[in-house]
């Protein structure tokens, strides 16, 4: 009876022993018992094995997460370094050839725009579409302004087209891009319906763009030749992607 009682006590203490939460006196007593009791020793090894198997995936996931974060960090640092070198080379060449800062300002702004977009996509975990569109919206406006300033004020060519054509067209096409992203994010449309919705907005965007620049008037919209040249491909895409979206919903 004494050994059975000792075994029962050891079995109750084994979970604490495996976790290292017993006193030194209890630890020595348990280890002494395990040396002489095959049954308790087997139970102990089973507990230790399961604890190791539960701990191992956590450690592995931490290592994988660390390696992924390190890889992403080196990628971003590498892109930043390459962009810095590219901007510096453009600036040196521009100063040597043109005796001033002209086209290198556009090249540098383009590199920074691309880096900001890649950084946003790499670091953001939620709402990537909206964050990417926010970067694209701000970056496009800045880049368009830099192009206007560089061409008209620094190079001395062209006209002041930014407010007459640039901003209206930019806002129009940003709206074309934003609407499918917002639809996808908040209304939870499937990707195929969003593509079809985007193509419909592209048709509208093409017509409105040509109206802004004075390429044609509203009556030209009704002509079949204009429709084939400006909207036929998009209409076919709308039908195809719309059908795929319906099939995906039916299968669910």
Domain ranges of the chain: 67-160, 167-252
Letter string b/e over residues 189-223, b meaning 16 or more CB atoms within 10 A of that residue's CB: bbebbbbbbbbbbbbebbbebbeeeeeeeeeeeee
- Mean pLDDT value of segment 130-138: 95
Helix axes 128-148, 167-186, angle to 10 degrees: 170
- pLDDT for 223: 63
- pLDDT for 192: 93
- pLDDT for 29: 84
Is 115:79 a contact under the CB 8 Å cutoff?
yes
Q: What global pTM score does this model have?
A: 0.69
Does the pLDDT of residue 212 top 90, yes or no?
Answer: no
- Mean pLDDT value of segment 116-129: 87
Does the pLDDT of residue 60 top 70, yes or no?
Answer: no
Mean pLDDT of the chain: 84
């Amino acid at each position: 009876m004494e050994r059975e009682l000792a075994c029962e006590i050891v079995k109750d203490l084994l979970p604490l022993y495996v976790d290292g939460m017993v006193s030194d006196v209890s630890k020595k007593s348990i280890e002494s018992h395990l040396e002489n009791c095959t049954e308790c020793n087997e139970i102990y090894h089973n507990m230790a094995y399961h604890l190791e198997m539960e701990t191992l995936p956590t450690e592995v996931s931490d290592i994988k997460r660390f390696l992924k974060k390190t890889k992403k960090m080196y990628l971003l640092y590498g892109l930043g370094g390459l962009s810095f070198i590219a901007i510096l080379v453009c600036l040196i060449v521009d100063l040597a050839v043109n005796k001033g800062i002209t086209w290198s300002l556009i090249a540098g702004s383009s590199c920074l725009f691309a880096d900001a977009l890649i950084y946003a996509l790499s670091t953001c975990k939620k709402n990537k579409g909206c964050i990417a569109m926010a970067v694209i919206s701000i970056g496009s406006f800045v880049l368009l302004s830099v192009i206007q300033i560089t061409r008209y004020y620094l190079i001395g060519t062209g006209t002041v087209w930014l407010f007459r054509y640039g901003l209206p067209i930019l806002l129009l096409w940003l709206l074309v891009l934003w609407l499918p992203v917002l639809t996808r994010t908040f209304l939870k449309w499937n990707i195929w319906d969003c593509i079809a919705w985007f193509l419909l907005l592209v048709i509208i965007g093409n017509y409105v763009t040509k109206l802004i620049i004075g390429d044609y008037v509203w009556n030209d919209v009704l002509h079949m030749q204009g429709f084939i040249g400006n909207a036929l491909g998009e209409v076919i895409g709308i039908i195809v992607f719309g059908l795929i979206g319906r099939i995906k919903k039916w299968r669910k």
